[in-house]
Copies of this chain bind each other. A is one copy, B any other.
Amino acid sequence: MELKVYVNPFSQPSRAVLIFCKANGIAFEEVTIELDKMQHKTPEFAEINPMKQIPVIVHGDFKLSESHAILIYLASAFPGVADHWYPTDVCKRAKIHSVLDWHHSNLRRGSVEYIFNSGVAIAFGLPMDPKAADQGKKLLLASLEMIESYWLQKDGPFLLGNTQPSIADLALACEVMQLEVIDEKDGDSILSSYKKVQEWVENTKKAIAPYFDEVHSFLPVAKQMLNELIAKSSKA
């Protein structure tokens, strides 16, 4: 049964889905949705996902949106995915759900609001909102602190003290990586106080080599494009 994944490598949740498929040898057809051309807002795309968002997968007749749901589905429906990604143990699985649920209203929300209003808005021809950027940054910093002091508090190199990465590590690390898109100095300064977070991202990269870096190779390109747009906009 054919698996199509509708993604864009600029989108953090898209990258998590792409990396998961590659790391687990899941065969798929990648369909790139051009966000700057607003392809995700077209009526054609709304047939696939009425939420007009990526990522989405189509597996045979089955359509599924929301990256966490997709990761869980892929881990459950495809044979050969190692247990550490989404453990069958009820308690271990529950903790991974808890991290992923927390992610929605904390790291993800803070990161998206901050990054969008610190530059990405310009790529979509929208104004930046400094107040929203500030609010997003506050939530982002509080979220990084929570990863540093709680989700990584145990001995293992991954979230929840695990010895191997789960889908939660993948989802959250892809989000943290997005900070590379904004100004390098600022991006560095944001992560510089969170040594455990930095180590954990490195551990995740290494554990999912070469796929994590391969899918993230688009980020420096995106950053350059964004800087050019910002420079152009400030001259206009």
Chain A interface helix/strand/loop/mixed: helix
Write out the residue numbers on chain B whose beta carbons fall within 8 Å of the beta carbon of A150.
50
Write out the residue numbers on chain B whose beta carbons fall within 8 Å of the beta carbon of A90.
73, 76-77
Bound together, the chains give a CA A97 to CA B101 distance in angstroms of: 10
Extra contacts, 6 of them, besides A62-B91, A66-B102 (Cβ < 8 A), are A65-B98, A68-B101, A69-B97, A77-B94, A101-B104, A105-B108
Q: Across the interface, do B101 and A66 meet the contact criterion of CB distance under 8 Å?
A: yes
* Interface residue A154 (Cβ < 8 Å from any Cβ of B): no
Rounded to whole Å, the gap between the CB of A152 and the closest CB of chain B is 12
Q: Across the interface, do B102 and A51 meet the contact criterion of CB distance under 8 Å?
A: yes
Bound together, the chains give a CA A16 to CA B94 distance in angstroms of: 17
A–B Cβ pairs within 8 angstroms, 23 of them: A50-B146, A50-B150, A51-B102, A51-B146, A64-B94, A64-B95, A65-B98, A65-B102, A66-B97, A68-B97, A68-B101, A69-B94, A69-B98, A69-B101, A73-B90, A73-B91, A73-B97, A76-B90, A76-B94, A77-B91, A77-B94, A104-B104, A105-B105
A residues 84-101 touching B (CB-CB < 8 Å): 90-91, 93-95, 97-98, 100-101
Chain A 53-78 against B: per-residue CB contact (8 Å), 1 yes, 0 no? 00000000010111111101100110
Rounded to whole Å, the gap between the CB of A221 and the closest CB of chain B is 27
Q: Are A105 and B104 CB-contacts (below 8 A) given A50-B146, A90-B76, A90-B77? A: yes
* Interface residue A109 (Cβ < 8 Å from any Cβ of B): yes
With both beta carbons as reference points, the residue of chain B lying nearest to A131 in the complex is identified as B131
Copies of this chain, count = 2
Rounded to whole Å, the gap between the CB of A193 and the closest CB of chain B is 18
Bound together, the chains give a CA A100 to CA B102 distance in angstroms of: 12
A residues 32-68 touching B (CB-CB < 8 Å): 50-51, 62, 64-68
With both beta carbons as reference points, the residue of chain B lying nearest to A13 in the complex is identified as B101
Write out the residue numbers on chain B whose beta carbons fall within 8 Å of the beta carbon of A102.
51, 65-66
Could you say which of B72, B100, B104 contacts A94, with CB atoms under 8 Å apart?
A: B72
Write out the residue numbers on chain B whose beta carbons fall within 8 Å of the beta carbon of A94.
62, 64, 69-70, 72-73, 76-77
Q: Across the interface, do A97 and B109 meet the contact criterion of CB distance under 8 Å?
A: no
